[in-house]
Amino acid sequence: MVKIILKEITKKFGDFTALDNINLEIDDREFMALLGPSGSGKSTLLYTIAGIYKPTSGRIYFDDRDVTEIPPKDRNVGLVFQNWALYPHMKVFDNIAFPLELRKVPKQEIEKKVREVAKMLHIENLLDRYPWQLSGGQQQRVAIARALVKEPDVLLLDEPLSNLDALLRIEVRAELKRLQKELGITAVYVTHDQAEALAMADRIAVIREGKILQVGTPDDVYYKPKYKFVGGFLGNPPMNFVEAEVENGYLRVYESRIPVPAQYKGLIEKLDIKEVLLGFRPHDAEVVKGISEGLVGEVYSFEPLGREQIVTVSVNSGAFVKVFAPEGEHFTFGEKVTVKIREDRIVLFDKKTEKALEFLGE
């Protein structure tokens, strides 16, 4: 139950900079997701919080306590690894009891606490089995139980769901979110799966190449991406981007023209910018048959998904956008259509820096 403050954390492995001047505050009882592609440094950041890696420079605070120099065991953190790292030669009970045994907790109390945490995670009946006798989902619960049994201040999770199959993952993520809130524990969750981050986290920190690109609530990072990368990384399918030129109050996209969205009118004038990237989410537009006001193109492909379908529209050779359309609608390949975008959901990025216009001044 602590607030974690990371101040100017830099971590280098030889010449390689894994973390580059990271500043982040994680509130008490908050569920923070570190989201990024593999190799982005998100796991390194987690291990730095745990104390396995020592930052090359910068400080880490748990509340007011500077823990930068404190070894992992004195930080009181629980860590769930991607491969769970259950000790194969120990039964489930001994696996969970291990942290307590190391703390020299009396035997009776160990017994009591292990049973308590096992009950909470619904694994009471597995205590005298070996890890290899369990299914993936059960092993994962044991790993979480082992991390929780010592009542840590911080729970750190390193892609704990990535070894589970898709259906189980969705089931466990709801459960994990509830567990975190019930225990009121500060949690940091590393994942490369944007759906997981959106579904579970209170806030998301998007990381790329050792830098935090954006920190915010799921809504924030989803609808107001600070960088093209963030918009393109979150959502399935991700945000659409097309190049546009500013032309007296209009955005020209290849053959089409759409008016500059109201929220950007002042900004564009102020910045005097000519070339932008126009971004919008697939569900913030609709496909209308025939040519009218909007992005004109032709149907390249369509994929019915049951409740809805994804229509891929080619707005120019090589430039595609994906838009959700209602189920019953019929399309044919090559059909002329117009994509009408919800104006208030349009995000404009600077073409050179790929940063959203409203953040350009930062």
Nearest approach, Cβ of residue 314 and other proteins (Å): 43
Residue 249 contacts other proteins per CB under 8 A: no
Q: Do 279 and 349 touch, CB atoms closer than 8 A?
A: yes
Residue 282 contacts other proteins per CB under 8 A: no
Residue 265 contacts other proteins per CB under 8 A: no
Window 93-122: contact mask with other proteins (x via CB under 8 A): -----xx--xx-------------------
Binder of other proteins out of 108, 132, 182, 248 (CB under 8 A): 132
The partner residues of 252 in beta bridges, in order of sequence, read 245, 257
Return d(Cα 97, Cα 118) in angstroms, integer: 11
Provide the edge-to-edge strand list for the sheet that holds 57-62.
16-26, 4-13, 57-62, 65-66
Closer to other proteins by CB, 21 or 163: give it: 163
Closer to other proteins by CB, 69 or 272: give it: 69
Give the range of 17-25, 68-76, 184-192, 307-315 binding other proteins by CB under 8 A.
Answer: 68-76
Window 176-215: contact mask with other proteins (x via CB under 8 A): ----------------------------------------
Return d(Cα 94, Cα 208) in angstroms, integer: 39
Residue 167 contacts other proteins per CB under 8 A: no
Nearest approach, Cβ of residue 206 and other proteins (Å): 25
Residue 281 contacts other proteins per CB under 8 A: no
CA 330 to chain CA mean position, Å = 35
Nearest approach, Cβ of residue 90 and other proteins (Å): 8
Closer to other proteins by CB, 126 or 213: give it: 126
HSE at residue 38, side-chain half, CA atoms within 13 A, is 3
Residue 333 contacts other proteins per CB under 8 A: no
The partner residues of 296 in beta bridges, in order of sequence, read 338
Residue 52 contacts other proteins per CB under 8 A: yes
Residue 144 contacts other proteins per CB under 8 A: no
Nearest approach, Cβ of residue 21 and other proteins (Å): 25
The partner residues of 298 in beta bridges, in order of sequence, read 314, 336
Residue 280 contacts other proteins per CB under 8 A: no
Residue 84 contacts other proteins per CB under 8 A: yes
Binder of other proteins out of 38, 64, 88, 305 (CB under 8 A): 88
Please list every residue from 147 through 166 that binds other proteins, using CB under 8 A: 150, 163-164
Closer to other proteins by CB, 8 or 165: give it: 165
CA 216 vs CA 33, 47, 191: distances in Å? 10, 22, 16
Closer to other proteins by CB, 97 or 239: give it: 97
Note the residues at the interface with other proteins (CB under 8 A): 47, 50-52, 71-73, 77-79, 81-89, 98-99, 102-103, 130-132, 134-136, 139-140, 146, 150, 163-164
